[in-house]
């Protein structure tokens, strides 16, 4: 999670764009409080979707211990199938979240969070679809490869310093690195081509 121009769509796959916030690019060192913040947010959402969802995943850079990140958590509700999406949207909206649609990413619904909650992006995806597959692939690869996480953090800090008010250039500068992560994580050539086409359009 949304400040989302056409050039930002790839970031939505891997959850680095924030909803309703300034487009200034701020990357900070890993904050040890992020997992606990996720747990609190998850505890608020889970009761209303528990019978529809398989889980709520902490994704994006804040989900990787030690990784520098924008200080905005990313969360994805994973439901069993597409038929569970409409009722899940209604239940999440009842908590004060504002549904934004898929913002150009098929099978990935996005929400603005209530103003009184910590900054976070909330997504809703059916299991096995590209929106959640990409998020989990990046997260799990970086968790298993701390050297890659370190290099990725350094890249993000460098790009944020170079483009502090140009999120499109910041995102574009990360694209090749993230595509290589997804390639190493085992995404197919077709999936990678689709992602790159969306990102570079």
- What is the C-alpha to C-alpha distance for residues 110 and 93, in angstroms, rounded to an integer? 11
**Tens-digit pLDDT profile for residues 34-72:** 999 999 999 999 999 999 999 999 999 999 999 999 999
Domain contains 193? yes
Domain contains 1? no
Which residues have a Cβ under 8 Å from the Cβ of 77 and sit 6 or more positions away? 45, 49, 53, 55, 56, 88, 92, 122, 123, 124, 125
- What is the C-alpha to C-alpha distance for residues 99 and 173, in angstroms, rounded to an integer? 29
- Average pLDDT value for the chain: 88
User: In the prediction, which pLDDT does 4 show?
Assistant: 36
Domain contains 94? yes
Domain contains 85? yes
HEC profile of 114-178: CCCCCCEEEEEEECCCHHHHHHHHHHHHHHHCHHHHHHHHHHHHHHHHHCCCCHHHHHHHHHHHH
Domain contains 21? yes
Q: Domain total for the chain?
A: 1
Domain contains 113? yes
Domain contains 54? yes
CATH of the domain at 98: 3.30.460.10
8-state DSSP, 101? E
**Tens-digit pLDDT profile for residues 105-152:** 889 999 999 999 999 999 999 999 988 999 999 999 999 999 999 999
Supply the range of the domain harboring residue 95: 6-200
User: In the prediction, which pLDDT does 100 show?
Assistant: 97
Pick from 9, 37, 36, 25: nearest CA to 68: 25
Residue 162, phi then psi, degrees to nearest 5: -80, -35
Domain contains 111? yes
């Amino acid at each position: 999670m949304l400040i989302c121009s056409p050039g930002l769509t790839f970031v939505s796959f891997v959850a680095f764009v924030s909803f309703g916030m300034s487009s200034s690019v701020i990357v900070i060192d890993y904050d040890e409080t992020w997992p606990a913040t996720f747990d609190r947010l998850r505890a608020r959402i889970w009761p209303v979707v528990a019978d529809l969802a398989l889980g709520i995943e902490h994704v994006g850079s804040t989900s990787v211990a030690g990784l520098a990140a924008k200080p905005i958590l990313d969360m994805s509700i994973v439901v069993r199938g597409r038929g569970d999406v409409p009722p899940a949207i209604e239940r999440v909206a009842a908590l004060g979240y504002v549904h934004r649609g898929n913002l150009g990413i098929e099978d990935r619904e996005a929400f603005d969070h209530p103003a009184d909650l910590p900054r976070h992006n909330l997504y809703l995806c059916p299991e096995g679809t590209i929106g959640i597959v990409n998020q989990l692939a990046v997260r799990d690869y970086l968790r298993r490869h701390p050297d890659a996480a370190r290099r990725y953090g350094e890249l993000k800090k460098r790009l944020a310093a170079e483009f502090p008010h140009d999120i499109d250039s910041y995102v574009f500068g990360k694209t090749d690195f993230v595509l290589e992560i997804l390639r190493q994580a085992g995404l197919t050539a077709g999936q990678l081509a689709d992602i790159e086409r969306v990102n570079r359009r």
